[in-house]
Amino acid sequence: MTLQTLPFNKALLKKDWKMTKWLCFAVAGILFFTMTLGVINTYNNYQRTIQEMEKHPEWYAGFDIDGYKAELKNLLQDKFKQLSGMEAMLVVFTPMAAAALLFGEEKRKKTFEILATMPFSRTEIFFNKAVIAFANVILPFLINAAIMVAALWLSKGLRDFYSAGMVMSWFGADAFRLFIVLSFSLLFASLTGTSISQLVLTIIFFIFPIGFTGLLYMNMAMWGYRIAVIDEFLNIFGSYTMPGILSNIKEVPITFHLISAIIMLAAAKLLFDRNKLERSGETLEFETIETFFKFGVAVCTSMLIGVIVTGCAGSFIYFTNNVPRIFTIIGYIIGIFLGWFVASYSIKTNRAKV
């Protein structure tokens, strides 16, 4: 059996890293100030409170120092188990940004044309970009994990609050989430032709299953239908959607997400091989999905505008009963035209010049 050597390419790795390293450092910095600094300062804060107690015992009469310590410990444990707002933002947007910088920007600036003339295969280009994207999203978390573990080694007192195992579990959970979002982002990198359309479509489809179900639910409710099955759908399948990976890692179907991420990666690679460079800079890489895209945007906008117009009518006009359905229908009509127009305009304005 012969083993295929992985197509690592030093020149491509160096070039892609140079293009995107700022993202890695920026995310590492944000994560440090929003999480790591707080974690490694826990023992100092605890010590400061004890010193304050000794100085001013009258202020702390009845204060349970052991309870306080346990509370700090619980807080830290929660921090490692649950994603905070900023951490969740970083987990979602860092892979999207890395993929947009490495693929969409190269398409928009047409530097892909130069790469195509150089002695690189498409596989090499995709593989090395994927590696750098993964390094970009993982390294900030790894650096912060290393700082937190190093702090444990330097400060014995910190060991009462958290352990290296807890840090590594936190890192492992986020690495898993980052990998899933990155695979998803790479799929859209191969489907779109500019960084802006790549980012917008990745975000839309990231929230699509929940967003669309929510829209469907609201629209059905407006027509007087209460569909319990939608609630059920969200309860049962919510964890299988992309936003589902942001919940507690114990509730996430890890195998399902890992398999789907690998499928998305393979699809991204196959689609990337079929990308035509003459379509670089266009909203979508494939002409065949343009009608589907316009239709999808029109339907979603129609449902959204229908809800908004009905809501606005209900707020500004007094009706004895429910808001007349004609407002909902007007909203649908406005939305369908608006959605179709916006999608068509985006495709048309970005159309490559012949």
Partner 1 sequence: MIEVKNLDKSLGGTKILDDINLRIKSGSIYGLIGPNGAGKTTLIKNLVDIYKPEKGEVLISGENIKDNTNIKSRIGYVSDYQYFYPSFKIGEIVEFYKDTYPFWNDKRYIQLMKLFKLDGNKKIKYLSKGMKTQLAILLSLSIMPNILILDEPTSGLDPVVKQKVLNLIVDEVSANETTVLISSHNLGQLEQICDHIGIIHEGKMLLEDSVENLKSNVRKIQVAFKGEFPEEIKSNEHILKIETIGKIHQIVVKDNLDAVIDAIKKCNPILLETIDMSLEEIFIYKMGVEGYDFTDIAL
| Site residues, partner 1 (CB under 8 A) | 10-11, 14-15, 18-19, 109-111, 113-114, 116-122, 276-278, 351-352, 354
Question: Among residues 55 and 276, whose Cβ is nearest to partner 1?
Answer: 276
Residues 53/162, Cβ–Cβ less than 8 Å: no
121-128 long-range Cβ contacts below 8 angstroms, 24+ apart: 121/7, 122/272, 122/273, 123/7, 123/269, 123/273, 124/7, 124/9, 124/12, 125/12, 125/272, 126/268, 126/269, 126/272, 126/273, 127/6, 127/7, 127/8, 128/7, 128/8, 128/9, 128/12, 128/13, 128/16
Question: Among residues 112 and 179, whose Cβ is nearest to partner 1?
Answer: 112
Say whether 61 sits in a helix, a strand or coil.
coil
Take residue 151 and report the two structure tokens written for it.
């702090």
Element (H or E) spanning 151, and its range?
helix 122-154
Question: Among residues 60 and 120, whose Cβ is nearest to partner 1?
Answer: 120
Minimum Å distance from CB 189 to partner 1?
18
Element (H or E) spanning 168, and its range?
helix 164-191
Question: Among residues 15 and 69, whose Cβ is nearest to partner 1?
Answer: 15
Question: Among residues 10 and 156, whose Cβ is nearest to partner 1?
Answer: 10
Question: Among residues 9 and 185, whose Cβ is nearest to partner 1?
Answer: 9
Minimum Å distance from CB 186 to partner 1?
21
Minimum Å distance from CB 24 to partner 1?
15
Residues 108/280, Cβ–Cβ less than 8 Å: yes
Take residue 288 and report the two structure tokens written for it.
């065949």
Minimum Å distance from CB 193 to partner 1?
13
Minimum Å distance from CB 123 to partner 1?
9
Minimum Å distance from CB 197 to partner 1?
17
Minimum Å distance from CB 263 to partner 1?
25
d(CA 138, CA 90): 11
Question: Among residues 73 and 122, whose Cβ is nearest to partner 1?
Answer: 122
β-sheet bridge partners, residue 5: none
Q: Which among 285, 291, 289 has a CA at the least distance from the CA of 268?
A: 285
Question: Among residues 144 and 350, whose Cβ is nearest to partner 1?
Answer: 350
Minimum Å distance from CB 285 to partner 1?
14
d(CA 344, CA 347): 5
d(CA 322, CA 318): 10
d(CA 159, CA 94): 30
d(CA 75, CA 86): 16
Question: Among residues 10 and 250, whose Cβ is nearest to partner 1?
Answer: 10
Minimum Å distance from CB 200 to partner 1?
23
